[in-house]
Amino acid sequence: MSCGTRETKKWLRTGFVGRVSSPTSCYWKWDSDLGVMEPGDLSGQGLFKRTRGVNMRFIKSLWLFFVVICLSWSGFHVTACALTEDERNNIDVYDRVAPGVVNISSTVLEHDFFFNIVPRQGAGSGSIIDPRGYILTNHHVIEDATKLEVTLANGKKYGAKLIGSDPDVDLAVLKIEAKRQDLTVIPMGTSESLKVGQKAIAIGNPFGLGQTLTTGVISSVGRTIKSSNGALVDAIIQTDASINPGNSGGPLLDSSGRMIGITTAIFSPTGASVGIGFAIPVDTAKRVLNDLIEKGYYAYPWLGATLMTLSPDLAEALKLSVNSGAMVVELARGGPADRAGIKGGHSRAQFGNNIILVGGDIIVGVDGEPVADADSVIRRIRKMRAGDRVSMEIVRWEGGRKNVTVTLSERPKTFRHRR
């Protein structure tokens, strides 16, 4: 059967559907006038039409291939870029709170090798806590500074005034004169109910690089550290959120963006963060803030006595009737403890390599609760206010117990803690 024969055409009318193989190479086309498939040859137009058909099928297949690839890549890209719930929380907290975190630059005058006075620059972070321009930071960030400058998140700079500070808890309050619309106040939460494992977010200005956010968890609560002047700071929060130089004074936040602490120190053999950071609990800050703003200092309650922990070894060496408590070593003349009839040490004794004053009373209870050491007594008193009355159970050096009531007074500024 040759291309274009009548037989072929007749055969095609019988209902041919599909392609016909013939001894000669040809192609088939639909004749709309005759209503049949017409044969053609490989020359000229026929060859072009056949080639075009092959090319179109190839192009369509290639196009479909790219569509599938693009859709697959699009799905992968969306999946790869989707934010987790934790990431969305971090972003939300940063967007809301970061504008309220400031950079603090301090200038301290020092003497060089030739005793010339030279300025030294320091830096830290702080939190806006009031729309009037009050800023909370660490005492050690501004200690001995002769000039303070605050830089807001929007880049505006202001000279800052020191309103008050408390080295005992390493906190200070500054004030800047800025427009209220430029100030974002960071809300305060509470540190009373913090749990180990709870999320912690630190925002600050480490190494002067600008605002940064680091995250971690509450590693421990109720830690005790000593401030720069030797005073005990209680209820310290420990976290593994990175706290680097320049973060000091910045806020430690919970997942709601509320301040739960003020970053203050790290434990590190290198000076960089190794996952052991500490923050002053926000409840401590709440306790001292009003006094710092109104008086410039916190009016600590004062017992007027220097205490020393009585250890079992010391009690055995001194042949005492109790083996724990707080020994009253010295008394401030006319102070609250002295007025209440408590006795201090009056003779010296050597214990190991130390010379200590002995002969004073031993405090074994405060307000009906037993105390095991001097730090326990100090912690209880620091939770009170000047003017409060406290009941103390004491053991006399020569024997016998007695209950006395002490009315606490405001601690003189010149008084220093001694152990």
List, for residues 212-229, the tens digit of each pLDDT value: 999 999 999 988 877 777
User: Does domain 97-294 fall into CATH 2.40.10.120?
Assistant: yes
Residue 370 dihedral angles phi and psi, to the nearest 5°: -65, 150
User: Given this model, what pLDDT does residue 102 score?
Assistant: 94
Residue 345 dihedral angles phi and psi, to the nearest 5°: -70, 155
User: Given this model, what pLDDT does residue 132 score?
Assistant: 96
Q: Which residue of the set 140, 191, 273, 361 is catalytic? A: 140
The one-letter code for the residue type at 151 is T
| Residue 74 designated active-site | no
> Distances from the Cα of 340 to the Cαs of 333, 364, 373, 387, 402, in angstroms?
11, 16, 21, 14, 12
* Closest among 244, 245, 250, 256 to 279, alpha carbons compared: 250
Q: How far apart are CA 47 and CA 40, in angstroms?
A: 9
Q: Which residue of the set 248, 273, 324, 376 is catalytic? A: 248
User: Given this model, what pLDDT does residue 330 score?
Assistant: 93
Q: Which residues contact 211 (CB under 8 A, 6 or more apart)?
A: 98, 101, 153, 203, 204, 205
Q: How far apart are CA 316 and CA 388, in angstroms?
A: 35
User: Given this model, what pLDDT does residue 99 score?
Assistant: 94
What is the value of pTM for the model shown?
0.69
Asked if residue 366 lies in contact with residue 373, where contact means CB atoms within 8 angstroms, the answer is: no
User: Given this model, what pLDDT does residue 71 score?
Assistant: 52
Asked if residue 410 lies in contact with residue 299, where contact means CB atoms within 8 angstroms, the answer is: yes
From-to residues of CATH 2.30.42.10 in the chain: 301-410
Residue pointed to by tokens 């934010």: 83
What CATH number does domain 301-410 carry, 3.40.50.300, 2.160.10.10, 3.30.1370.100, 2.30.42.10? 2.30.42.10
Asked if residue 375 lies in contact with residue 232, where contact means CB atoms within 8 angstroms, the answer is: yes
Q: Which residue of the set 166, 170, 361, 373 is catalytic? A: 170
From-to residues of CATH 2.40.10.120 in the chain: 97-294
User: Given this model, what pLDDT does residue 185 score?
Assistant: 97
* Closest among 206, 205, 198 to 155, alpha carbons compared: 205
Q: Which residues contact 215 (CB under 8 A, 6 or more apart)?
A: 90, 199, 200, 201, 202, 241
| Residue 248 designated active-site | yes
Per-residue exposure over 183-205, b if at least 16 CB sit within 10 Å of its own CB, e if not: bbbbebbebeebeeeebbbbbbb
Number of Cα atoms under 13 Å in the Cβ half of residue 36: 15
Distance of CA 222 to the CA centre of its chain: 17
| Residue 338 designated active-site | no
* Closest among 374, 375, 361 to 404, alpha carbons compared: 361
Q: Which residues contact 208 (CB under 8 A, 6 or more apart)?
A: 103, 123, 246
Identify the segments of the chain with pLDDT beneath 50. Answer: 1-30, 32, 34-37, 41-54, 76-80, 111, 113-114, 416-419
User: Given this model, what pLDDT does residue 227 score?
Assistant: 74
